[in-house]
Amino acid sequence: MKKMYIMLTTLFMGLAPVEAKVTVRIKALGSSPRGQFVAFEEFGYSFDKAKVFSKIRVMNVWKNRYVDKVIEVKGTGNTGELKKVREQAKKIAYTKLKKFNIEM
């Protein structure tokens, strides 16, 4: 009985959820006046925290699909680098967001 208890405990410990090593956040950047287009940013750190990234996407919520290409900027995982990467991605996305009448 003791062996069975040890085996079951070991089995359940092995099935415990594994902690992900990616840190990702999503932030809404804005929407068009009628609400058809929504822009959002996905940003965070890579698996080994050696890289940072920012992706900006625009979605047509009426058709439930993304429009245009994803804007993606990557950088190193240095302190403060994420803020710079996010600002750079927003500068690049500015003209695209204007095209869809989205203001940040």
Q: 0.95 cut: is pTM over it?
A: no
CA distances, 85 to each of 18, 63, 90 (Å)? 29, 30, 9
CA-based nearest residue to 57, from 42, 75, 73: 42
Q: What is the pLDDT of residues 31-41, one digit of tens each?
A: 999 999 999 99
Return the pLDDT at 29: 93
pLDDT band at 51 (very low <50, low <70, confident <90, very high): confident
Give the confidence band of 5 by pLDDT, cuts at 50, 70, 90. Answer: very low
Q: What are phi and psi of 8, to 5 degrees?
A: -65, -40
Share of the chain above pLDDT 90, in %: 52
User: For residues 61 and 38, what is the distance between their CA atoms, to the nearest angstrom?
Assistant: 7
Q: Which tokens is 10 given?
A: 């070991």
Give the tens place of pLDDT for each residue, 58-78. Answer: 999 999 999 989 999 998 877
